[in-house]
Amino acid sequence: MTDAPEPEAPVAPIHRIQENLIARLERRALNHLCAVMPAWVTPDLLTFTGIVGALLVFGGYLGSNFDAGWLWLSIGGYFVHWFGDSLDGSLARFRKIERPRYGYFLDHSCDGFATMLVVIGIGVTPYVQLEVALIALAGYLLMSIHAFLSVRVLGELRLSYFNAGPTELRLILIGLTLAMLIAGLESPIVWELNGFDFFVGSVGLILIALFALQTATTARRLARQEPARKWPC
């Protein structure tokens, strides 16, 4: 006898909030790519492609310790990562083959691993200190925690803040990498920190501050929906 498949738990719909600057342009591009994608290309394959892109980014940053030309590999890796990470869920929705729990779990697990590779990669370059990069990674992880908690308590998944989302962040990181190529190694400004250190560290501190702000805002919203109750004596 074969085991019967486990019954699927009902999955509440998630309201995706995406208000980044190039969202409409990006959506048109993704819809076009979905329409022309060969049948053998699957969402899982695209998710794997995104991880490959993140590995290329990490490899390029690591190689920059030997030659700055390796940074071009990181720039190319960002485009590969965008292609896989942005298209996997879009293709599933376009073909109406979504697997909500599986897709949500796999996509965000891979996102976390890919971001770790990218940010740690920045920290192993000769341009940015690892300790500074770890501040940025901590900020990203805190914002991820907030996003996942919001899905649970609000049914909302916010993908952008201040008109910036994952694609805008990739463009910023590509700009940072190009600046490394053009400016080269910078002299320390203060406390052994150079301009690249201050930029990456500032991004991390902004993410940490945004986490605190969003946590307070969401807590107030939930408190209004669930007013405090007196304990019956």
CB-count exposure of residue 151 (10 Å: 0-12, 13-18, 19+): middle
Helices then strands (H, E): number in the chain? 7, 2
Residue 174: predicted pLDDT: 94
The predicted model scores a pTM of: 0.84
DSSP state of 124: T
Q: Which two tokens stand for residue 94?
A: 């376009």
Q: Which fold has domain 17-225?
A: Four Helix Bundle (Hemerythrin (Met), subunit A) (1.20.120)
Q: Could you state, in order of their start, the residue ranges of all structural domains in the chain?
A: 17-225
* Ordered per-residue pLDDT tens for the chain, 233 residues: 445 555 554 555 666 665 666 777 878 888 889 999 999 999 999 999 999 999 999 999 999 999 999 999 999 999 999 999 888 888 998 889 988 889 888 988 999 999 999 999 999 999 999 999 999 999 989 988 888 888 887 777 766 666 667 788 888 899 999 999 998 777 767 788 888 999 999 999 999 999 999 899 989 988 888 887 777 76
Reduced to 3 states (helix: H, G, I; strand: E, B; else coil), residue 130 is helix
Residue 1: predicted pLDDT: 44
Residue 154: predicted pLDDT: 77
Q: What ranges make up the beta strands (E) of 174-233? A: none
Q: Which two tokens stand for residue 215?
A: 């946590």
Q: Bridge-partner residues for 156, per DSSP? A: 15
Q: Which two tokens stand for residue 105?
A: 């779990």
Contact assessment for residue 173 and residue 33, using Cβ atoms and an 8 Å cutoff:
no
Residue 162: predicted pLDDT: 61
The b-or-e profile of 111-147 (16+ CB within 10 A means b, else e) is beebbebbbbbbbbbebbbeebbbbbbbbbbbbbebb
